[in-house]
Amino acid sequence: MSSMKKRGVVLAVVSTLAASTAILGLSTQQAQAAAQNAAVTKALNTPTTLTFWSWLPGQQNEVNLFQATYPKIKVKLVNVGSGGTEYNKIKAGLAAKSGLPDVAQVEFQYLPTFKVLNGLANIKPYVASDFLTKFPQWISDQVSDAKGIYAVPQDSGPMGLLYRSDVFTKLGLAAPKTWAEFATDAAKIHSADASQYISNMVMDSGNMNGLYWQAGARPFHMNSATSINIKLNDSATKQVTKFWGDLVAAGNLPVDPYWTSDWNAAFNKGKYLSWPSASWGLGTVTSAAADTSGNWRAAPLPTWSSTPVSGSWGGSTVAVMSTTKNLAAAAALAEFVNTNPTAAFALTQAPTFDFPVMKSVLGSDGFLATAPAFYGGQKVYQAYSAYNNTVGKNYEWSPFQDQVYTLWTNDVLDAILKKGDTAAAVDKWQADTVKYAKDQGYTVTTK
Amino acid sequence: MVSMSASSLKSTKRTGLFFVLPFFLIFVLLLIVPLVYSGFISLYKKGLIGGNRYVGFENYITMIHDPQWVSSVGRVFLYFFLQVPIMLIIAVFAALAIDSGKLRFPKFFRIAIFIPYAVPAIIGCIIWGYIYGKNYGFLNQLLGYLHIHHVDWWGNSTQALGSISAIVTWEFAGYNMIILYAALKGLSTELYEAAAVDGAGAIKIALRIKLPQLYPAIFLTLIFSIIGSFQLFTEPQTLNLQAPTVLNNYFSPNVYAYSVAFQGQQLNYAATISFSLGLIIAFFAIIATLVSRRRGGDSLL
């Protein structure tokens, strides 16, 4: 209460100032910014403990930097589990209206989900006035709308192809430029040695979604807050699904589950010779396949036509939970860990290996010069920066993305593994998703 | 003993109440209240869009026609008939063997069989996840040395039930063994002595004297197992990554309820599934009790 009062006083003073300074040529906008900064400054000088949920390796480094800068603030960084595990806890907390952190890592693809659940605080009043211009347009569009800003972008996941150049060269192959070449190479590689495959089947819904994205699928569009367009069964999605289904049916791809120790071992033992993966996959392969260090390279994702185009997979933000009692301090923490120049650069280095979303880091020499020995000294970030520029634009996520992914696993992946009709499976995915959306009260169009 | 006066009876009652109060409070707060609440919210429906509304039994009707729910319930039935007999036979056998006095190092065996129960289920699942690993798992590497082709331990849902049964048997056989062993320790030894005098060996004593007296305890473990089987959750949920399409989001009713609640944001429907599962478990526990009573078994419950 008292702090509210004080803030009121500050605001009153500032608005009086604004009125008077307007005459002196200062815009009201600048005066407002001054008021916002005052609220943040005050919060950062008040002893506060903030809880921050994140599964990002190395996030503690940026948190330490924040605590060193603002010693009054204690940050409890907790890893409650990655991705879905954390989201389920947030959703349970939102339903119970308690038990939530002040700040949490949320992937771009789940921002609409948490927005519709009223889980994200509007941090626009507390962040820098040029906040949105620090990121490329397609990134800032995903965290903001006309009314506010709901998350601080952390990293993105432009996709490329990580491949074993040593084995490819031995077989007289270059990195496949098109998916047609990828399919031909798949057969050659497996027939040359029955224990090796061009890659694993894309078993992960988000991974496959990135490939649909690349092929031009744009399945979701909000017509309004209560009306959604759903078009999961377009020709691009069917083409990509059939492509992978055919490779599995021909026996040229193994169907190993992702994210298991077995999957890591398969990379290390040379069972998979490539992986169409996001930028952060650079780190995944580095830790999984230590024995093959020096033999991996990055190449652009194979394409469906001659135009270079990529998709995106993953990429996170740091969002302030709507339930926080320390909004100003929490917003400052979220903004700091991702946009403070030192912190933002640290995110791109070991052990995090985030692909940055801040223009200033994206273009910095220090970042672009990174040349890990694991990738034979290739300037992999320079390569991924090029892929990043070709990521298909205007992609929208649904406000129930995890349900969409669960249904993909049940309908589409299941059909691929059972060597069934992939087109029918994609149609079923569409039908099940539409049914779900209607059940949740949405008006659904399917253009 | 002098007959109690009305007032002292009353105070005894009050003392009794005092002793059960802590349990009773927790029982009401953590079991009855959530139960009533989930029954209550199962009659409502709240979507992401639009408000909360009363729908009567609509969620229950949806559930009965939901093929995923039907398949999840069918699967735990199959699982119950597959896993429970094996586990209880092992538990009975182990309890009788340790109690027979013919085993060397009985304390070692007792602890060795019981110890998996002390391993947290999640840790157990991680261990078994490695054992069942598709390419480089313990079992498949072992088969590889014997030149036997790799087995996909999660190949289809029936195979997966078998693989999960092995995990749960490993986890819970020891727990049931301890219950049975404790019951055996409570039996009067006079009968054994008499039987031994009549020339009965250890095996005959176990089968003819101990086993019949063990029925009430076996029945107790059976009831626990009914509850445990129908509530199958931790193993398929934790091992989901090993086989996303087989250990899917409707592998068991509880896994389905969890997915519906937290992935699907359909809390009312999840409450419907949970509440119904409670009713199903209660129904079968009662059937089991009735069957055991009819057989003249003296239940511990």
Residues of A in contact with B48 (CB under 8 A): 116-117, 399-400, 440-442
Percent of chain A exceeding pLDDT 70 equals 92
Check if the beta carbon of residue A296 is closer than 8 Å to that of residue A376. yes
Residue listed under structure tokens 């061009």? A198
Nearest-Å Rg of the Cα atoms of chain A is 24
- Angstroms from A145 CA to nearest CA on chain B: 19
Is the pLDDT at A78 greater than 80? The verdict is yes
Written in H, E and C, the secondary structure of B67-135 is HHHHHHHHHHHHHHHHHHHHHHHHHHHHHHHHHCCCCCCHHHHHHHHHHHHHCCHHHHHHHHHHHCCCC
* Average pLDDT estimate for A330-346: 95
Distance from CA of B74 to the nearest CA of A (A): 18
- Whether the per-residue pLDDT at A10 is higher than 50: the answer is no
Residues in A closer than 8 angstroms to B49, CB to CB, are 225-226, 440-442
Residues listed for chain B: 301
Where residue B189 falls among pLDDT bands split at 50, 70, 90? confident
Q: Does B236 touch chain A (CB under 8 A)?
A: no
Mean pLDDT throughout A394-406? Answer: 94
Taking an 8 Å cut-off on Cβ atoms, the answer to whether B264 and A260 are in contact is no
Greatest alpha-carbon pair distance for chain B in Å reads 81
Instruction: Say if the Cβ atoms of A260 and B129 lie within 8 Å.
Output: yes
- Tell me if residue A443 falls in helix, strand or coil: strand
Torsion angle in degrees (nearest 10) through CA of B23, B29, B35, B40:
150
Residues A146-163: tens digit of each pLDDT: 999 999 999 999 999 999
Most confident of A298-307, B181-190, B287-296: A298-307
Q: A126 touching B, CB under 8 A? A: no
CB contact under 8 A, B133 and A261: yes
pLDDT of residue A8: 41
Determine the pLDDT at residue B9: 66
Cα(A439)–Cα(A397) distance, integer angstroms:
19
Average pLDDT of chain B to the nearest whole number: 91
pLDDT for the residue A149: 97
Is B116 an interface residue toward A (CB < 8 Å)?
A: no
Q: Rounded to a whole number, what is the distance in Å from the CA of B230 to chain A's nearest CA?
A: 22
Mean pLDDT of A242-250: 98
Cite the beta strand spans of A189-273 per DSSP E.
220-224, 227-230
Q: How many CB pairs under 8 A join A and B?
A: 86
Of B133, B136, B262, the CB nearest to A88: B262
What mean pLDDT is predicted for residues A90-96?
92
pLDDT of residue A28: 54
Question: Are A103 and A50 contacting, i.e. CB atoms less than 8 angstroms apart?
Answer: yes
Interface check for A258 against chain B (CB to CB < 8 A): the answer is yes
Crossing angle of helices B121-131 and B157-185, in 10° steps, is: 130
Q: What is the pLDDT of residues A357-372, one digit of tens each?
A: 999 999 898 899 989 9
Higher pLDDT, A33 or A329: A329
Compute the distance between CA of residue B79 and CA of residue B232 in angstroms, rounded to an integer: 9
Q: Within the 268-297 window of chain B, which residues sit less than 8 Å (CB to CB) from chain A?
A: none
And the tokens for A352?
Answer: 């995090």
Q: Measured between alpha carbons, how far is A317 from A338 in angstroms, rounded to an integer?
A: 8
Q: Under an 8 A CB cutoff, do A261 and B129 touch?
A: yes
Whether residues B241 and A265 touch (CB distance < 8 A) is answered with no
Best of B246, B262, B267, B269 to substitute, by most chain A Cβ atoms within 10 angstroms, is: B262
C-alpha to C-alpha distances, A124 to A14, A100, A147, A152, nearest whole angstrom: 18, 21, 9, 10
Confidence of residue B1 (pLDDT cuts 50, 70, 90): very low
Q: Which residues of B touch A414 (CB under 8 A)?
A: 245, 248
Please say whether the beta carbons of B180 and B214 come within 8 A.
yes
Q: Which of B164, B22, B147, B173 is nearest to B88 (CA)?
A: B173
A297 secondary structure, DSSP code: E
pLDDT above 60: residue A2: no
CB contact under 8 A, B136 and A117: no
CB spacing of B248 vs A257 below 8 angstroms = no
pLDDT, mean over chain A? 91
Q: A120 forms bridges with which residues in the sheet?
A: A321
Contact status of B264 with chain A (Cβ, < 8 Å): yes
Q: Which of A256, A261, A441 sits opposite B49 (nearest CB)?
A: A441
Of A60-74, B71-85, B194-208, the poorest mean pLDDT is in B194-208
Residues of B in contact with A225 (CB under 8 A): 49
- Asked if A406 lies within 8 A of B259 by C-beta distance, the reply is yes
Are B200 and B211 spatial neighbours (Cβ–Cβ below 8 Å)?
A: no
Measured CA to CA in angstroms, residue B165 lies from A331, B161, B299 at distances of 48, 6, 27
SS3 B54: strand
From A403, A26, A5, select the one nearest A232 (Cα to Cα): A403
Q: Inter-chain contact A403–B47, Cβ cutoff 8 Å?
A: no
- Which of A91, A256, A271 lies at the smallest CB-CB distance from B265? A91
**B234 and chain A: CB distance < 8 Å anywhere?**
no
- State the pLDDT confidence band at B188, using cuts at 50, 70 and 90: confident
pLDDT of A346: 92
What are the structure tokens assigned to A97, written together? Answer: 């209206």
* pLDDT greater than 90 at residue A99: yes
Cβ contact, residue pair A414, B245, below 8 Å: yes
Which of A398, A403, A438 is the best residue to mutate to test the B interface, defined by the most B CB atoms within 10 Å of its own CB?
Answer: A403
Among B241, B258, B266, select the one facing A260 at the smallest CB separation: B241
What is the average pLDDT across B184-199? 89
Q: Over pLDDT 70: what percentage of chain B?
A: 94
Q: Which pLDDT belongs to residue B296?
A: 57
CA distance B191 to chain A (A): 55
Q: Does B133 touch chain A (CB under 8 A)?
A: yes
| Least confident residue range of B5-9, B19-23, B194-198 | B5-9
Q: What is the pLDDT of residue B3?
A: 54
Nearest chain A residue to B134 by CA: give it. A262
Residue A103: band (very low, low, confident or very high) from pLDDT cuts 50, 70, 90 = very high
In this prediction, residue B200 carries a pLDDT of: 87
Interface of A with B in 402-441 (CB under 8 A): 402-403, 406, 409-410, 413-414, 417, 436, 439-441
Nearest CA in chain A to B154: A257
Taking the CA of residue A25 and the nearest CA in chain B, the distance in Å comes to 46
How high is the pLDDT of residue B102? 84
A195 has a pLDDT exceeding 50: yes
* B-chain residue closest to A406, CA distance: B249
Q: CA of A94 to nearest chain B CA: how many angstroms apart? A: 11
Q: What is the pLDDT of residue A7?
A: 41
The predicted model gives B93-104 an average pLDDT of 90
Check A400 against B264: CB less than 8 A apart.
Answer: yes
Burial class (CB in 10 A: 0-12, 13-18, 19+), B201: exposed
CA pair distance B164, B184, nearest whole angstrom: 29
- The residue among A330, A327, A367 whose CA lies nearest residue A63 is A330
CA distance A381 to A161: 13
The pLDDT of residue B191 is above 80: yes
Q: B264 to chain A, minimum CA–CA distance in Å?
A: 5
pLDDT given at position B60: 98
A257 with B241: Cβ contact below 8 A: yes
Over 80: is that where the pLDDT of B88 sits? yes
Nearest chain B Cα to A88, which residue? Answer: B262
Distance in angstroms (rounded) separating the CA atoms of residues A192 and A172:
11
Q: Distance between the two ends of chain B, CA-based, in angstroms?
A: 30
Q: The whole model's pTM is what? A: 0.88
